[in-house]
Structure formats: structure tokens, C-alpha cells
Amino acid sequence: MKCPKCPDQAMELETWPGAELERCPRCQGLFLDAGELERLIVARYGGRIDALGFTPLSDSQDQKSGTCDRCRKEMDPFLGPHNVRLDRCPKCSAVFLDQGELAHMRSQ
């Protein structure tokens, strides 16, 4: 699978209790299947998945639209918990989080 926002970059699979996610090694963005975001927000280990804060790269990536590599659909921006701008695939409901977004949602 390719990163929705770094299309030349292959995502790396990570397995956590109750969730398998893909992380972009370049931008550190996270690709989550439908329902995984909700589980990660409340999971005790969720803070370790995205312990880093926002960076200039993540700020610039946040303004880019992404494309779901699974469905080839442009992802739609939406406001997640605590008004964090996230991206969701309109077909499979997968969610892409830029670096720091999960950590920010968990810290509120």
C-alpha cells in the first residue's frame, strides 16, 4: 500500500493489540481501517503509536488531499475529535492521520 499523501512511499505495517495500521516512513502518517481510530483513541497504548507532535512537514501534509491506495478515491477532509482535520475515504471509510493528530486527540 502507498501513502495517501506521499504516493511514491510504501506504507509499513504495524501490529498493535486490536489494530493493524500502516505508517508512512517519510511523513509518519497513519492509515487506519474503518473503526480503528475509535479504538486507538481510547487504547492505553495509543499514545505510543503517535507520541510525536506536529512538525512543519505534518502541518504542510495536513493541507494536502490524499488518495486512498486501496480504493483509488480522493479522501474527504472531516473534523475528528477535538476538531482535528482528518482524511476519510468515501468508499471504504479508512482514515488517514498526519503525524501528531492521534497524539493531539488523545491529549485533550
Number of domains making up the chain: 1
Contacts of 49 (CB under 8 A, 6+ apart): 14, 16, 21, 30, 40, 102
Percent of the chain residues topping a pLDDT of 90 = 50
Q: Which of 11-15, 16-20, 40-44, 67-71 has the lowest mean pLDDT?
A: 40-44
Instruction: Report yes or no on 31 lying in a domain.
Output: yes
Residue-wise pLDDT for 60-74, tens only, equals: 777 788 999 999 999
Q: Which structural domain range is residue 82 located in? A: 12-107
Instruction: Report yes or no on 3 lying in a domain.
Output: no
Q: Mean pLDDT over all residues of the chain?
A: 86
* Measured distance CA(96)–CA(99) in Å, rounded: 10
pTM greater than 0.85 (yes/no): yes
